[in-house]
Structure 1
């Protein structure tokens, strides 16, 4: 063999060996079907094994564990890029972090932008019954590892791609449920419970609170580890008559964003829709073509906006069971929202997968082509935020414009001002109005916030701080006592300044949201907002903080990014007269429940004692041993009693039942999670359990949380049972079937109350008060010209999810530990007024009769709230009925009103 022949042979051998090493198992080879085949779904156990297998087969990918799910499965993140990039992965991660935090010079940032790689996150499966998301990610991973064309090489050279199945538990449940039917025509998504262990669809409502393990895993990668410049979140389904809804989104967007963020979303969106159009894939709708806007924080797509990151959400049609695009005439005509309409037609799962691939590559191609700009622009937005937080800055809010216009209109009518109309027909006003109503000194944005360590419920304040840290914010802690603006603060207080890159998120957590008045036309109905309009977390959690308007300093040390805090450990003093725990501290209830389970006597003191509020807990001296072994990390202050209190009442564990139904109630699921967090024992019950009767023999308290009961205007004749047919449900889930009915369930509830039971209702389920004929009526009505009582119209009264202030009846044991006013989450919630004289009704919370209640969000027609009852207690025979109109446990966020529930959960 000649040298030339030998060299050729060796080169061929290397090529063959490399080809063998790079043979990637296809989805068809592994799963037995192509991704996108009708009536086929891969579950998470299979997907997990596939990801692990093909990662080993490829030099383009790595796989890493990012945490456990609520059900204990491993959540993975796959990292895809060129082999060369993977060798220097840590360096690229640090570049991404440095640019996002923007704590470097512009010249260094420019150099790093040239050197770094764009980071793009693409996920799937968050909402598990939206099966396109989880399945397209499998196909995308395979294609990223096997495509060798010029476009793919360009993407791999310039982009680091992070892929994650973000709801493993849900994918396992839904796929197994769907595939259990041998007859494909019977396959369905009628799963028996929510597809995230506790909260189902609300797993996309947790991204500033981070209650769920999956959310914690994701946000750690987004805001602490990788800081992606683009985050793409797959969902479904698109609006009827379209294939997909995507960016750019309709108004309004939040006023705190950097304008560069919004125009960058436009840029990526153009790449996505253009790719579909080039490939002759119609049906993309955007802007007013769908309901999605850029206002709300809290979703996987929207929380990135508050971190200067491009968040993308698409909603696509399609399921493994073939479907069709219906005829929706208004979507057939091309317009700005839908430039390329789709015609009615049959639709397969494969088409949805194909569209998803096109959209993914539209994003990745944009990231590769715009790599330098993406990296530098996230730095520039961060620098802009730091600058705004370092000087006097005014954010123009809709309410300021409304105030300005109202003042000008008054002056115009009185002759003190007159219109000046431009050539474009726009009214231009004297600049003095801008100076007075927009740029007045008192309307400046704060320079920072101080959370004092001596507030009544400091452990909850620490939980709030941890939510900020998990979101990647810069937080300081004082190492000594200090003073700012004439006020003294103790050591251990926390400081959050606004001169940081993620300033929009800082403001979002402390400041009110001011949603604009948004109607279809003047005098017309409101345009329904996407999810929440006001959510200020510090308000929801009842945190005491001070807004600091000038620059300030002190003995502050930065908490390392993402380093979660614990409150000062509980210290147990020596005492022969027993111990006191404050009713104002939420974590006191954890300690009390642990004491009760250990057999220790616990009492509630009915009067204020030793500086603690009424309702605080007394533990006799013999409880010392259990207290000593308790959870000191809870941070509950334990006070030595100066004497054995007199006016006290012993409490005992209650037998708690929590109502749920087939398919799963999200509010009930949140409550289940909350009760577990605070160590309450409880039993989940279903309609059949209610109908079986003898409830008082089994339970002391029944919780009906927000949904699942007949509405107030429902009659027995019109109430219909819902849910799957029993023969379609496996035996283990049969007990969940049925619904609460006025014919069978209501009499059992009445019997439970007659025997001394306690019922707690929230939100929509307070309608039970009307079915029980309690002496309350709906406050949100008016009398028309004919003298008839009618409901208010949307242009008269409309309050989507917002934060309102209520007055608290501090004399009621239901409100032990609460201040005289508190913030509540209100979502077009019930409001009551007393009917006939009602000696058996005690008002728990009410709206002030003299002032508006809105604290954050949007409230149209607030006058109808004034003097209304937000919550009440009614004595019913030997039992007690509670109605809380507001969402007192809202998504595990409303720590400020948790006590309204906790106070009722003892005997």
Structure 2
């Protein structure tokens, strides 16, 4: 009888388990196809519905909304763990953040929390929506983790809290619908998307994470840097290098010198778990190190910004898609080496499902590693944070190539002084330098490298009395969003003999996320990197230098000694707003031209019909009225602006400000630089229209517009291929008849034959054209007396552009001198940092300057303008013109070689755009 009851009980239990299992719908049951089936993509609408189904039936999953997207969809993060862990999420989140910040946590407490806590692992998908493996592997992995009951999955659920995050819902909806629009699967393709898959910035949504301009970046950044601070984050991308299946960790040099070494070796450890699992499962084709172009130098990516927060940030780039493809033959990748231990052989057909299976295996490898090493991961992130606090609390020197070179220079100088007349270098025993190059006496480390004046700062002070304090607070909020502890002075204080006003901000470096603080304030020093000595340069992965404080034009002081004062610590994640104030004056109000937010106020005033004028130095004057008073007070309160007042109307010439009809160039498929400017113009309340090549070619532009803005890559300089200057979409993409009617007007490219004459006619009739970056090539098409300054004379007496072996400046910050008296430069600083990416530089005819045809606005005054990044051959820049304005008929051309609107980070140069829009 007892055996019968036992069998009955087991039978009931089995049925209960089977019933519970049956409650978890498979992807095929929901979508109508399996994830990874050829020619099938899931939309976000379908995915959202599936996740809601899973949340309703699974006790392993908590569905959360972390915010809204740019197109107002819900952005989801699915928290997956054991039912027991989900009941204690608040505690595990508390442990994770305490360990990461390492504040006031003793060694004993850290070890106890490492045992008690659960490792937190972030896995995302879909950031770059055309890389469709990303979101589909996320769907498949979530299904596996909530439905499987094998021992590995149970161990993962017990020891790990997983944050599965959808990085770009809007993009998934657009891309999947575009692909699936064809009924015939054989005709399905993702080529020729009609617009950007993130409303404003498309692919650049992975370049937004140290400033977090976009709402999706802010949603994810808040979870990563404030709410959870995971120990591992995994960012899925495409595509792998030709002849491989995927690229992954560890990555090639250089890594950023501010990192804790445990973060770098942590990447190595997780990477080993990943490719070892693939090898064990007979999944070849994983390449690493110099097998791909990916490094850990850059900050700003979804993955890379986590590196500066002591997180083990993982990136993979995999092949594959719903339309079957091939693995091509690349002979040099067939030989196993340290980059690719297990090469993949050429394959005629590679199916979507293979990429999904690889991705699920990679996810499980990371989750299994985190489960087996949960206590180590928690304790190690504590150690890294504690190391950062110690470095920020004492004297520390971050090693960089320039600092190391100072040792070599000093040593060689001393050797030259002491070398015998015969020229032979004397030996110096065990501490000396070997004749072939070797040891240098250690005193050079102590006397040169560890110079007290060159040690890292203990903190930074951002005075509240700087000319554009609202922009400084935007910088502070970028730090806040990335989890940095901010302090604010409650009274006047003095540090190092200098007095600072109340309301100033203080950022101390004795924090766990010190690497990120240093990276936002200090210059990056990218090493000289060439394919071989004297050979061409190796381009960095994205930018070489980006120091955000420099880009935004922030005034700050580096403090080398420990300091304190009447400082109040701001809660983590609490955004700051300066206190606005409107002065009293019977005649009206004045706003300094140096304040970027002044343009918000002016645009709101103009929209309301209020009068606005500019004084001779660019200051805005707003006559007193009930209408202007209301708007000025509202703007001051909302933006924290200090607005002055006058008791009588200012003397001198007043220029009335009127809104202009502004057109911003864009192209079919969407331009990211144009999208960034579109976002900027909306933020600063400028009215504008988008203009495309067809309209430029076909219409009387001056009857509709006063200003046309061309961003980089809209126009290029004349060449043998100048019949089509916007080459981004020329000769590829869909045919017009394949495109929905609503997008056909956006097709076409700027051409020399049709577009240039219309643009010239527009300026001659009084229009203004503003060009940025490569679009300054319009100056050559117009025949203006300027030429490329970065050239050398050939043997035949002609000239040619300098090759990369002599001149190469990839994505870096340079200092220029600015003509601040020029109307175009009102409000700018005399010395301004600009973002330069092998940008145009001009030599202007002296006669053109003398007769007023061309007016230089910015130039390189010396041979060493580099502020942050890498500038090989920068001496060639000396005397070169970075920006100018030119008269063309009744109108003007404005040419800005540097990227003055770069990713909406370069606030210090925004006024070069804004000043031209009135």
Normalised TM-score (structure 2): 0.96
2:675 maps to 1:654: no
- Equivalent position of 2:494 in the other structure: 483
- Equivalent position of 1:403 in the other structure: 406
Normalised TM-score (structure 1): 0.97
**C-alpha displacement of 1:735:** 0.9
- Equivalent position of 2:19 in the other structure: 20
- Equivalent position of 1:316 in the other structure: 318
Distance 1:391 1:630, change over 3 A: closer
- Equivalent position of 2:510 in the other structure: 499
Render the CA deviation track for 1:523-553: whole Å, top value 9, x for unaligned.
1111110001111100000000000000000
Is the 2:433–2:440 Cα contact (8 Å) retained in structure 1?
Answer: no
Partner of residue 689 from structure 2, selected from 683, 687, 696: 683
Is the 2:406–2:449 Cα contact (8 Å) retained in structure 1?
Answer: no
**RMSD after superposition:** 1.6
C-alpha separation in 2, matches of 1:889 and 1:718: 25
- Equivalent position of 1:561 in the other structure: 572
Farther-moved stretch of structure 1 (711-720 vs 310-319): 711-720
Farther-moved stretch of structure 1 (703-712 vs 315-324): 703-712
C-alpha separation in 2, matches of 1:407 and 1:278: 52
Is the 2:288–2:340 Cα contact (8 Å) retained in structure 1?
Answer: yes
- Following superposition of structure 1 onto structure 2, how do residues 293-308 of structure 1 map, counting pairs within 5 Å? 293-308=295-310
C-alpha separation in 2, matches of 1:625 and 1:484: 40
Render the CA deviation track for 1:543-588: whole Å, top value 9, x for unaligned.
000000000000011000000011112x333322111011011111
- Equivalent position of 1:280 in the other structure: 282
Task: For residue 307 of structure 1, give the secondary structure of its aligned residue in structure 2.
Answer: coil
- Following superposition of structure 1 onto structure 2, how do residues 531-550 of structure 1 map, counting pairs within 5 Å? 531-550=542-561
2:122 maps to 1:111: no
C-alpha separation in 2, matches of 1:519 and 1:3: 79
**C-alpha displacement of 1:692:** 1.3
C-alpha separation in 2, matches of 1:530 and 1:331: 21
C-alpha separation in 1, matches of 2:434 and 2:817: 51
- Equivalent position of 1:577 in the other structure: 587
C-alpha separation in 2, matches of 1:883 and 1:568: 37
- Following superposition of structure 1 onto structure 2, how do residues 410-489 of structure 1 map, counting pairs within 5 Å? 410-416=413-419, 418=426, 427-489=438-500
2:369 maps to 1:366: yes
- Equivalent position of 1:610 in the other structure: none
**C-alpha displacement of 1:9:** 4.1
- Equivalent position of 1:863 in the other structure: 875
**C-alpha displacement of 1:221:** 0.7
- Equivalent position of 2:50 in the other structure: 50
C-alpha separation in 2, matches of 1:436 and 1:619: 58
**C-alpha displacement of 1:884:** 0.3
C-alpha separation in 2, matches of 1:286 and 1:18: 42
**C-alpha displacement of 1:235:** 0.1
- Equivalent position of 1:882 in the other structure: 894
Is the 2:724–2:751 Cα contact (8 Å) retained in structure 1?
Answer: no
C-alpha separation in 1, matches of 2:528 and 2:450: 21
C-alpha separation in 2, matches of 1:847 and 1:398: 24
C-alpha separation in 1, matches of 2:585 and 2:448: 58
C-alpha separation in 1, matches of 2:474 and 2:722: 45
Q: How many residues align?
A: 896
**C-alpha displacement of 1:730:** 0.9
C-alpha separation in 2, matches of 1:425 and 1:165: 56
**C-alpha displacement of 1:715:** 4.5
2:650 maps to 1:639: no
Is the 1:223–1:471 Cα contact (8 Å) retained in structure 2?
Answer: yes
- Equivalent position of 1:787 in the other structure: 797
C-alpha separation in 1, matches of 2:724 and 2:374: 59
Partner of residue 692 from structure 1, selected from 675, 694, 698: 698
Distance 1:30 1:395, change over 3 A: same
C-alpha separation in 2, matches of 1:628 and 1:530: 46
- Following superposition of structure 1 onto structure 2, how do residues 212-361 of structure 1 map, counting pairs within 5 Å? 212-345=214-347, 346-361=349-364
Is the 1:246–1:314 Cα contact (8 Å) retained in structure 2?
Answer: yes
C-alpha separation in 2, matches of 1:782 and 1:885: 19
Task: For residue 263 of structure 2, give the secondary structure of its aligned residue in structure 1.
Answer: helix
Is the 2:546–2:813 Cα contact (8 Å) retained in structure 1?
Answer: yes
2:639 maps to 1:627: no
Structure 1 gaps, min length 5 = 607-613
Distance 1:546 1:630, change over 3 A: closer
**C-alpha displacement of 1:223:** 0.8
**C-alpha displacement of 1:836:** 6.2
2:825 maps to 1:815: yes
**C-alpha displacement of 1:480:** 0.9
C-alpha separation in 2, matches of 1:84 and 1:579: 61
Partner of residue 773 from structure 1, selected from 778, 783, 804: 783
Is the 1:451–1:545 Cα contact (8 Å) retained in structure 2?
Answer: yes
- Equivalent position of 1:593 in the other structure: 603
**C-alpha displacement of 1:628:** 3.6
Distance 1:455 1:629, change over 3 A: closer
C-alpha separation in 2, matches of 1:685 and 1:669: 13
Partner of residue 844 from structure 2, selected from 822, 825, 834: 834
Is the 1:198–1:669 Cα contact (8 Å) retained in structure 2?
Answer: yes
Partner of residue 906 from structure 2, selected from 887, 891, 894: 894
Is the 2:813–2:868 Cα contact (8 Å) retained in structure 1?
Answer: yes
**C-alpha displacement of 1:216:** 0.4
Partner of residue 536 from structure 2, selected from 501, 525, 533: 525
Partner of residue 616 from structure 1, selected from 594, 616, 619: 619
- Equivalent position of 1:611 in the other structure: none
Distance 1:759 1:179, change over 3 A: same
Structure 2 gaps, min length 5 = 420-424
Render the CA deviation track for 1:98-145: whole Å, top value 9, x for unaligned.
100001111100000001001000000100000000111000000001
C-alpha separation in 1, matches of 2:244 and 2:677: 37
- Equivalent position of 1:847 in the other structure: 860
C-alpha separation in 1, matches of 2:634 and 2:162: 47
Task: For residue 572 of structure 2, give the secondary structure of its aligned residue in structure 1.
Answer: coil
Is the 1:207–1:300 Cα contact (8 Å) retained in structure 2?
Answer: yes
Is the 1:715–1:742 Cα contact (8 Å) retained in structure 2?
Answer: no
Task: For residue 711 of structure 2, give the secondary structure of its aligned residue in structure 1.
Answer: strand
**C-alpha displacement of 1:21:** 3.3
2:738 maps to 1:735: no
- Equivalent position of 2:422 in the other structure: none
**C-alpha displacement of 1:711:** 3.6
**C-alpha displacement of 1:786:** 3.2
- Equivalent position of 2:835 in the other structure: 825
